Amino acid sequence: MHQLTDRKKNYLLYFFIFIFLSTTNNLSLLKNFELFSNIQNIKVEGLRDDLNLKIKKNLNFLLNENIFFLNKELLINELKKLNYIQSYKVSKNYPSTVVINIKQTDLLAITVNNNNKYIIGSNGKLIDHEIFNSNINLPNFFGKFSSKDFVFFINIIKQTNFNYNEITDIFFFQSGRWDIKTKNNQTIKLPKENLKKAFIKAAKIIKNNNLNHKLIDLRIPNQVILMNG
């Protein structure tokens, strides 16, 4: 009887040792897996090297976070602070690398707001001029800046064959009307309505204008006023 009891005790002892060892191994494996899947590297691509590096440093808070539970909200909020970004794509290279591919917004004009110099991007945002202050050649924008109005204006030009690169100055008036000045020192006064039609007409006039008139006034519907002074 004692022999049977001892055998039972041995079985129970072996069973608990097996459970303990199994649990210990599982926890160890789980811990190793978690360490293996922590973010160890962040790659930022698509911009200038210095900007890629700057963004990478700003995202260092993601390091050692579990790649499977990446906090996308924090990441997105950080990228939204950068006005020179048009779009981005985040991908995971398992087990431990996050890759962020960024598309820079197009730089369209220079403006002054509250005594500070900014670049206007194609995303309609104001970008600190110092970030791209390397002999940048863009039109000057004058007037009260409105993201919605400016993006609309640029999109209209893109729908025509008018050469945006020939523009040196852009003027926006409170009435909602625009004027532009070109590298040939020509001022083009645009109507408030039918902008697309006006730009198509302006492009034709400039192409065929052998007299190189200094003023092209398109404000009156179905009428063109050309002046040399």
Per-residue confidence band for 134, with pLDDT thresholds at 50, 70 and 90: low
Per-residue confidence band for 78, with pLDDT thresholds at 50, 70 and 90: very high
Q: Is the pLDDT of residue 12 over 50?
A: no
Kindly state the average pLDDT of the residues 204-228.
Answer: 85
Determine the Cα–Cα distance for residues 78 and 186; give it in Å rounded to an integer.
43
**pLDDT of res. 211:** 62
Q: Residues with Cβ < 8 Å from 53, sequence gap 6 or more? A: 44
Question: Residue 100's closest CA among 112, 92, 89?
Answer: 89
Across the chain, mean pLDDT equals: 84
What tokens does 91 get?
């991908």
Per-residue confidence band for 91, with pLDDT thresholds at 50, 70 and 90: very high
Kindly state the average pLDDT of the residues 99-111.
Answer: 96
Domains in the chain (CATH in brackets) are 41-104 (3.10.20), 107-227 (3.40.50.11690)
Question: Residue 33's closest CA among 94, 93, 91?
Answer: 94
Q: Is the pLDDT of residue 14 over 50?
A: no
